[in-house]
Amino acid sequence: MKEICNGCGAEVECIEYEVPPDTDVAPGCWNLFCDLLSNEYGEHTYPPITHRLTVDAYACQHPGAPSEQSIQSIAVHLISLYLIIEKGVESRTATDTIRKALGKKLEFSWLEPPEDRGKMTILDISEQKDPESINSAVKKWAQAVWDAWSSHHDTVKKWAEEVHTQ
């Protein structure tokens, strides 16, 4: 039996699986994400950028409902996508910038999620069988998610520059 994930729109297996509270993720989708993370952590051929983009893309496709936590989460993951995709920074720099933003307690606001959050989902990544294909697919996925949030790019860039330039 299948169900549609409310976050990314992927058609996933309908399973019993614990998901984080206050999210819009289907259990089958969350299970695929957890499997991918396990693979990334267990496979030493994945560059750090693959993991960073995986987490950012997935989070931005599953924003949940407006809350302090979800507002902050979407803001920092979009900042990371911006820095990596638009500015070409390394994953460590993106992660350090996220930490700075959280430490400075910047005032983020709710960004209304796009109806279409990207043409690719975790399903496209889970279909890949080798590290090279996964790395390539994750980069395309992250780009698709970043593009989907285009109506908020100016806001995200402003937030990023507040922290990244310091």
**Would you list the domain boundaries of the chain?**
46-164
Degrees, nearest 5: CA angle 21-26-29: 115
Identify the band that residue 149 occupies on the pLDDT scale cut at 50, 70 and 90.
Answer: very high
Q: What is the mean pLDDT of residues 19-34?
A: 92
CA-based diameter of the chain, in Å? 50
pLDDT given for residue 104 in this prediction? 82
Q: What is the mean pLDDT of residues 121-131?
A: 94
Q: What is the mean pLDDT of residues 131-155?
A: 97
Q: What is the mean pLDDT of residues 120-124?
A: 97
Identify the band that residue 163 occupies on the pLDDT scale cut at 50, 70 and 90.
Answer: confident
Residue 141, amino acid: W
The residues near 60 (Cβ < 8 Å, ≥ 6 apart) are 74, 77, 78, 81, 117, 145, 146, 148, 149
Q: Where are the beta strands (DSSP E) in the chain?
A: 2-4, 11-13
Is pLDDT of 102 > 70? Answer: yes
Is pLDDT of 63 > 60? Answer: yes
CA distance 135 to 65: 30
